[in-house]
């Protein structure tokens, strides 16, 4: 949910600036343009395509500053219409610009610093590498602070400790902690020691059923298994890519995480489906399950907001419903927001927890905003 807020704030700024650009004072317009370029420039697009949750407060400040410019401009237009002395208008504008310019410069510097730090961080061997964009659906390092999900964590660890192929579906509403729960599970030493490779694919941006197809396999081969897919694509069939991924995962206890899946189709459905050996007379069907060896102890975890989607992909046996915390358990959210409350005299911990509606990530988002 925090990512949705950040994305909304980014789009709000871009749309509002487009409407207001021609009416802004020239020196403020230059700063706003530099900030806009930081966000949409091709070289930074991968980072800002879905702005990280840590940028929420900066984007709030940015939109607030732009709104102040619009209000000030309207006030000055009214003064002109009422024939107020022009020199007074000019002086007022100079004072306004002088106060706002350092604030905009700070916002720009903070956004640039945030991006540079994000680009410098080296991901761990299983860190989320999103497809097709750089979006992550949770706070990157907050899973250790989650509350109320211990039973779900134990349940997933128990399933992963079993022999044979495992397909697990984690479903629940936005902000309930599905993705962070899985990240915490994958950080468990027992999982890290048992499963290699661990492959994470974020499918947040694939909103249409027809988009769930062989390009996901090609992505896994290229991003996680160092294949030059572009060189091979024109020469190979879909069945070849499925068989090649199967060959590379064979005899390995792999774990593939499909995060934030919105739809299910025949290509990605029924991941537990068994198949025979491929041959020239009996090639692999164009289905993702055929890329997954079933006899090496591998596993697939799927997260989705929609129970039916998770069920159609992994079956009903290992479905885990992550619900908002009940009233008593919701009090645990005080742990998440308590540290930041000392910085605010206008809101209490109880008020924040009440507005979270039992959603851990709502608590994290509000805590970050209040903390800033």
Per-residue model confidence as pLDDT tens for the chain (372 residues): 455 677 778 888 888 888 888 888 888 888 999 999 888 876 666 667 667 767 888 888 898 888 888 887 777 666 555 554 444 446 677 788 888 889 899 999 988 888 887 665 444 444 444 444 444 444 444 554 566 788 999 999 999 999 999 999 999 988 788 988 999 899 899 999 999 989 988 887 776 777 788 888 888 887 777 666 666 656 778 888 898 899 989 989 999 999 999 899 999 998 877 654 444 444 556 889 999 999 889 999 999 999 999 999 999 999 999 987 765 555 555 555 555 555 554 555 566 656 666 676 666 666 555 555
pLDDT (0 to 100) of residue 304: 94
Verify that 302 and 162 share a domain, yes or no: yes
**98 exposure class (CB count in 10 Å sphere: 0-12, 13-18, 19+):** exposed
| 270, part of any domain | yes
Verify that 152 and 30 share a domain, yes or no: no
Domain with 36 in it: 2-120
Domain boundary pick from 120, 135, 166: 120
Verify that 164 and 304 share a domain, yes or no: yes
Verify that 259 and 338 share a domain, yes or no: no
User: What DSSP state is assigned to residue 209?
Assistant: G
CATH number at residue 272: 3.40.50.300
**Structural contact between residues 7 and 51, judged by C-beta atoms closer than 8 angstroms:** yes
Number of independent structural domains in the chain: 3
Longest dimension (CA), the chain: 89
Verify that 176 and 306 share a domain, yes or no: yes
Domain boundary pick from 282, 298, 321: 321
Verify that 280 and 243 share a domain, yes or no: yes
3-state class (DSSP) for residue 69: helix
Distance CA 293, CA 12 (A): 46
Verify that 189 and 293 share a domain, yes or no: yes
Q: Give yes or no for a cis peptide into 220 (omega within 30° of 0).
A: no
Tokens 């209040």 -> residue: 370
| 99, part of any domain | yes
| 172, part of any domain | yes
Does this model's pTM top 0.85?
A: no
Verify that 311 and 336 share a domain, yes or no: no
Distance CA 22, CA 119 (A): 33
Verify that 223 and 292 share a domain, yes or no: yes
| 222, part of any domain | yes
**116 exposure class (CB count in 10 Å sphere: 0-12, 13-18, 19+):** exposed
pLDDT (0 to 100) of residue 289: 92
| 135, part of any domain | no
Q: Give yes or no for a cis peptide into 197 (omega within 30° of 0).
A: yes
Verify that 336 and 356 share a domain, yes or no: yes
Distance CA 35, CA 61 (A): 12
Distance CA 45, CA 251 (A): 38
Tokens 């979006």 -> residue: 135
3-state class (DSSP) for residue 321: strand
Query: How far from chain centre, in Å, is Cα 146?
Result: 17
Distance CA 39, CA 48 (A): 6
Verify that 12 and 49 share a domain, yes or no: yes
Domain boundary pick from 282, 303, 321: 321
* Count of other CB atoms within 10 angstroms of residue 24: 20
pLDDT (0 to 100) of residue 125: 42
**Structural contact between residues 270 and 312, judged by C-beta atoms closer than 8 angstroms:** yes
Q: Which two tokens stand for residue 56?
A: 């929420």
pLDDT (0 to 100) of residue 305: 92
* Count of other CB atoms within 10 angstroms of residue 232: 15
| 125, part of any domain | no
Verify that 232 and 170 share a domain, yes or no: yes
* Count of other CB atoms within 10 angstroms of residue 238: 18
| 130, part of any domain | no
Residue ranges in the chain assigned as alpha helix (H): 2-20, 26-40, 45-48, 56-81, 86-120, 150-160, 178-186, 189-194, 215-225, 229-233, 238-249, 307-314, 327-330, 334-341, 349-356, 360-371
| 267, part of any domain | yes
**Structural contact between residues 258 and 302, judged by C-beta atoms closer than 8 angstroms:** yes
The per-residue DSSP string of 176-201 comes to SSHHHHHHHHHTSHHHHHH--SEEEE
């Amino acid at each position: 949910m925090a990512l949705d807020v950040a994305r909304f704030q980014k789009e709000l700024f871009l749309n509002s600036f487009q409407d207001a650009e021609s009416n802004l004072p020239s020196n403020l317009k230059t700063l706003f343009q530099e900030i806009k370029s930081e966000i949409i420039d091709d070289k930074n697009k991968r980072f800002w395509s879905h702005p990280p949750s840590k940028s929420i407060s900066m984007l709030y400040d940015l939109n607030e500053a732009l709104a102040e410019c619009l209000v000030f401009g309207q006030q000055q237009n009214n003064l002109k219409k009422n024939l107020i002395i022009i020199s007074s208008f000019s002086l007022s504008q100079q004072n306004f610009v002088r106060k706002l310019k350092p604030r905009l410069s700070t916002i720009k510097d903070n956004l640039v610093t945030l991006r540079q730090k994000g680009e410098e961080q080296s991901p761990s061997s299983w860190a989320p590498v999103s497809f097709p964009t750089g979006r992550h659906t949770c706070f990157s390092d907050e899973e250790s602070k989650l509350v109320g999900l211990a039973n779900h964590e134990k349940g997933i660890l128990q399933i992963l400790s079993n022999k044979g192929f495992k397909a697990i579906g984690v479903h629940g509403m936005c902000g309930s902690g599905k993705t962070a729960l899985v990240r915490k599970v994958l950080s468990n030493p027992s999982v890290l020691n048992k499963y290699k490779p661990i492959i994470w694919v974020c499918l947040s941006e694939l909103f249409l059923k027809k988009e769930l197809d062989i390009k996901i396999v090609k992505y896994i081969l290229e991003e996680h298994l160092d294949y030059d897919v572009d060189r091979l694509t024109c020469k190979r069939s879909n069945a070849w890519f499925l068989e090649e991924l199967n060959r590379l995962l064979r005899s390995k206890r792999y774990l593939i995480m499909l995060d934030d899946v919105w739809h299910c189709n025949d290509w990605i459905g029924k991941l537990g489906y068994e198949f025979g050996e491929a041959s020239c007379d009996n090639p692999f069907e164009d289905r993702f399950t055929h890329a997954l060896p079933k006899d090496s102890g591998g596993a697939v975890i799927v997260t989705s907001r929609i129970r039916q989607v998770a069920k159609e992909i992994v079956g009903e046996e290992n479905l885990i419903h992550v619900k908002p915390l009940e009233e008593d358990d919701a009090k645990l959210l005080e742990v998440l927001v308590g540290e930041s409350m000392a910085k605010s005299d206008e809101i209490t911990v109880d008020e924040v927890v009440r507005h979270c509606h039992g959603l851990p990530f709502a608590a994290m988002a509000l805590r970050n905003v209040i903390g800033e």
